[in-house]
């Protein structure tokens, strides 16, 4: 191949994606022998919008930057992903051209031909009919590309494969199945009663289904030869898809052994798993938000696709979170102040009637005062915070997932630098702000206010920003972003943002206020209240990556409706381990498009 461009065609279930994956693995395994060759990267072409990225290298750079955090590590050159894509160091393996609308397929053919230089390499997979239609509509072939198409598996070859999968002494039913396949001609007609089984066994997908359902599942295969049960290949494939989920769950019990990646981590009910996956398939095939059908499930798009964050839910989230924050905020302050008052009252009473009685009276008075003050103030603060949170919830579904690396090993120096920069920045800004407000009362008061604000506000905020900057810096050893890794990283980022901002600022401010007033108890309570309140408010309203928060609300609503499990991502991880899903970068896909279509045809539960 002079230009090393390859198009892999084939019918449904012929193993186009599997062949592409095996080719990528082989190229990576032999890369040491060919160090100058580009690095193969498998990507779903469904995310390429030619209007946003007119050229292949532009989209490729954006995907590399998103899916491979190590390219953004500080010791890498700036715009590393863009340089790799533009200079031909990446061999893009584009899967799923046939799964796009015809107009988009044609646009991609045109964009590819416009983008490829003489030395650029490329691999594309597509179903034969759809590719021919796209080329015809584009008015051009894919320039200088070699096209290959696998031949159907012959009945004799299928029999040989199934025989190797069977135990040493197969049942009589399997002997009959193998005999039929061995004697069925390759070019059999539909009138032949054995044509249905031969047609299903002529693809890699069909052979896998037969093995999982009837060999691994130890089911009697004799009904497969009954034309009354399966008048055609579509009916038999549908039957195999129906039995696939129960067979995989039954034959692969849960395991927590890290060395066993093909067994789930939890036990699942087959019927329930089928309902959940069917809902997911319907959502991808007929998106409720009116977007085009897709083969990619991106967890951070679930809220947008399902329209789960309605105006009502946004108001509810704002109200609930606001009241919770406000009540915690003010109750902590109120109780601390109340206890402070109570101790004074208790000591005064105790000097007259006894310490034990005095403390009892003091605590009672303090709790009553604290609760009254806290509840009143909490409702006021809660409504204000809730309004702020509610206004930001609408933007959460469009947020991309963030990245957080909390591993310290090998990153101690980077952490020290980030904290130092944050500390200096926070002090400078805090002192400047304090001076501006403090100079109203004179130079001495301005200097004192500047130092106080710098220490109380600038230092904690500066250190917090430094810590967050450090956490969002990838390491050069970072792996490609998988769906679970992406979800966990965004969750860690959101939780870290809320706790660090809140506790750092709140405790520092509260303690400073308490010590300044010579009331340490009130200061500690105030610090805790301010910390929780400010932390949750900042975590919910500040920053660009709140995809996990939108996911959290969406899965809660969909789980209450019975559509999906509350722990969706762990469930999808198990479905991936079972072989029902596959991971392409940070997104999941059904193992085969036909499986998604079959599950999407399930009627919604009433």
Rounded distance, CA 24 to CA 186, Å?
Answer: 31
pLDDT at 1 over 90: no
Q: What is the mean pLDDT of residues 128-137?
A: 94
Structure tokens at 204: 């890699």
pLDDT the model gives residue 354: 47
pLDDT the model gives residue 355: 47
Structure tokens at 99: 């799964």
pLDDT the model gives residue 437: 62
pLDDT the model gives residue 65: 87
- What is the average pLDDT value for the chain, to the nearest integer? 80
Which phi and psi (to 5°) does residue 599 adopt? -70, -35
Q: What is the mean pLDDT of residues 427-452?
A: 68
pLDDT the model gives residue 531: 54
pLDDT the model gives residue 367: 47
The pTM score is 0.80
pLDDT at 349 over 50: no
pLDDT the model gives residue 432: 77
Q: Look at 213-222, 256-265, 316-325, 391-400 and tell me which has the smallest mean pLDDT.
A: 316-325
- Residue 69 makes CB contacts below 8 A (sequence gap 6+) with 403, 405, 474, 478, 481
- Residue 192 makes CB contacts below 8 A (sequence gap 6+) with 184, 198
pLDDT the model gives residue 193: 64
Query: Which residues on adjacent β-strands are paired with residue 123?
Result: 6, 93
pLDDT at 403 over 90: no
CB 202 within 8 A of CB 158: yes
pLDDT band at 396 (very low <50, low <70, confident <90, very high): confident
pLDDT at 72 over 50: yes
Q: Look at 16-30, 383-397, 398-412, 580-594 and tell me which has the smallest mean pLDDT.
A: 383-397
Greatest mean pLDDT among 118-132, 395-409, 478-492 lies in 118-132
Residue 455: strand, helix, or coil: helix
pLDDT the model gives residue 335: 47
pLDDT the model gives residue 273: 97
Number of Cβ atoms within 10 Å of the Cβ of 162: 21
Q: Look at 329-338, 439-448, 584-593 and tell me which has the smallest mean pLDDT.
A: 329-338
3-state secondary structure string across 153-164: CCHHHHHHHHHH
Q: Look at 172-176, 338-342, 456-460 and tell me which has the smallest mean pLDDT.
A: 338-342
pLDDT the model gives residue 390: 60
Share of the chain above pLDDT 70, in %: 73
Query: Which residues on adjacent β-strands are paired with residue 91?
Result: 40
pLDDT the model gives residue 590: 95
Q: Which residue has the higher pLDDT, 108 or 344?
A: 108
Rounded distance, CA 109 to CA 115, Å?
Answer: 10
According to DSSP H, which parts of 354-411 are helical?
355-393
Rounded distance, CA 67 to CA 171, Å?
Answer: 48
Q: Which residue has the higher pLDDT, 49 or 274?
A: 274
Write out pLDDT tens, residues 181-193. Answer: 999 887 765 556 6
pLDDT the model gives residue 61: 94
Q: What is the mean pLDDT of residues 417-437?
A: 76
pLDDT the model gives residue 528: 53
Write out pLDDT tens, residues 525-554. Answer: 555 555 555 555 665 566 666 788 889 989
Q: What is the mean pLDDT of residues 361-385?
A: 52
pLDDT at 470 over 90: no
CB 88 within 8 A of CB 120: yes
pLDDT at 40 over 90: yes
Q: Which residue has the higher pLDDT, 274 or 377?
A: 274
Write out pLDDT tens, residues 200-243. Answer: 999 999 999 999 999 999 999 999 998 888 988 999 999 999 99
For 5, the enclosing helix (H) or strand (E) is strand 5-8
Q: What is the mean pLDDT of residues 146-152?
A: 91
Rounded distance, CA 296 to CA 583, Å?
Answer: 9
pLDDT band at 125 (very low <50, low <70, confident <90, very high): very high
- Give which of 355, 507, 475, 318 is closest to 406, Cα–Cα: 475
pLDDT the model gives residue 385: 58
pLDDT at 327 over 60: no
In degrees, rounded to 5, the angle at the alpha carbon of residue 104 between the alpha carbons of residues 602 and 108 is 130
Q: Look at 44-48, 135-139, 578-582 and tell me which has the smallest mean pLDDT.
A: 44-48
Q: What is the mean pLDDT of residues 2-12?
A: 86
Rounded distance, CA 560 to CA 266, Å?
Answer: 21
pLDDT at 438 over 50: yes
The alpha carbon torsion through 112, 116, 119, 123 (nearest 10 deg) reads -10
- Give which of 397, 345, 394, 383 is closest to 366, Cα–Cα: 345
Q: Which residue has the higher pLDDT, 358 or 216?
A: 216
User: What are the structural domains of the chain?
Assistant: 5-148 (3.40.50.300), 155-251 (no CATH), 270-309+551-600 (1.10.10), 311-550 (no CATH)
CB 70 within 8 A of CB 478: yes
């Amino acid at each position: 191949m002079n230009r090393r461009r390859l198009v892999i065609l084939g019918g449904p279930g012929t193993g186009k994606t599997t062949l592409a994956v095996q080719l990528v693995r082989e190229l990576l395994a032999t890369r040491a022998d060919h160090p100058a060759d580009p690095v193969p990267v498998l990507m779903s072409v469904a995310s390429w919008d030619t209007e946003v990225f007119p050229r292949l290298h532009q989209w490729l750079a954006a995907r590399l930057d998103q899916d491979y955090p190590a390219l953004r590590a500080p010791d890498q050159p700036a715009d590393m992903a863009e340089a790799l894509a533009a200079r031909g160091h990446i061999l893009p393996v584009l899967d799923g051209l046939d799964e796009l609308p015809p107009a988009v397929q044609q646009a991609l053919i045109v964009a590819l031909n416009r983008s490829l230089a003489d030395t650029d390499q490329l691999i594309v997979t597509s179903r034969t009919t759809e590719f021919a239609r796209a080329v015809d509509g584009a008015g051009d072939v894919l320039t200088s590309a070699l096209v290959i198409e696998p031949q159907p598996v012959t009945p004799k070859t299928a029999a040989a494969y199934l025989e190797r999968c069977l135990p040493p002494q197969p049942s009589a039913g399997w002997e009959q199945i193998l005999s039929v396949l061995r004697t069925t001609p390759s070019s059999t007609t539909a009138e032949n009663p054995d044509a249905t089984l031969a047609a299903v066994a002529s693809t890699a997908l069909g052979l896998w289904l037969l093995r999982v359902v009837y060999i691994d599942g130890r089911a009697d295969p004799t009904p497969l030869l009954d034309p009354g049960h399966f008048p055609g290949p579509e009916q038999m494939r549908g039957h195999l898809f129906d039995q696939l989920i129960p067979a995989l769950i039954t034959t692969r019990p849960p395991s927590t052994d890290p060395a066993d990646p093909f067994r789930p981590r939890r036990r699942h009910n087959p019927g329930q798993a089928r309902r959940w996956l069917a809902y997911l398939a319907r959502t991808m095939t007929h998106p409720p938000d009116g977007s085009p059908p897709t083969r990619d499930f991106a967890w951070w798009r679930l809220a947008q696709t399902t329209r789960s964050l309605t105006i009502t839910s946004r108001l509810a989230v704002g109200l609930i979170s606001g009241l919770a924050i406000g009540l915690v905020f003010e109750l902590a302050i109120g109780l601390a102040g109340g206890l402070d008052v109570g101790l004074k009252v208790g000591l005064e009473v105790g000097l007259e009637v006894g310490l034990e009685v005095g403390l009892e009276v003091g605590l009672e008075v303090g709790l009553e005062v604290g609760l009254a003050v806290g509840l009143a103030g909490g409702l006021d603060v809660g409504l204000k915070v809730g309004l702020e949170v509610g206004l930001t919830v609408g933007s959460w579904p469009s947020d991309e997932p963030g990245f957080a690396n909390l591993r310290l090993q090998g990153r101690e120096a980077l952490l020290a630098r980030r904290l130092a920069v944050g500390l200096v920045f926070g002090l400078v800004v805090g002192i400047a702000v304090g001076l501006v407000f403090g100079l109203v009362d004179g130079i001495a008061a301005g200097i004192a206010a500047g130092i106080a604000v710098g220490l109380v506000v600038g230092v904690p905020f500066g250190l917090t920003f430094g810590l967050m900057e450090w956490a969002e810096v990838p390491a050069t050893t970072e792996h490609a972003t998988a769906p679970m890794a992406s979800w966990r990283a965004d969750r860690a980022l959101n939780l870290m943002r809320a706790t660090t901002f809140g506790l750092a600022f709140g405790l520092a401010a509260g303690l400073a206020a308490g010590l300044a007033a010579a009331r340490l108890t009130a200061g500690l309570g105030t610090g805790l209240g301010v910390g929780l309140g400010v932390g949750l408010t900042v975590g919910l309203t500040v920053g660009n990556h709140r995809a996990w928060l939108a996911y959290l609300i969406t899965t809660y609503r969909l789980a209450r409706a019975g559509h999906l499990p509350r722990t969706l991502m762990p469930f999808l991880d198990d479905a991936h381990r079972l072989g029902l899903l596959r991971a392409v970068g940070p997104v999941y896909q059904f193992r085969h498009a036909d499986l998604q279509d079959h599950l999407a045809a399930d009627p919604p539960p009433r």
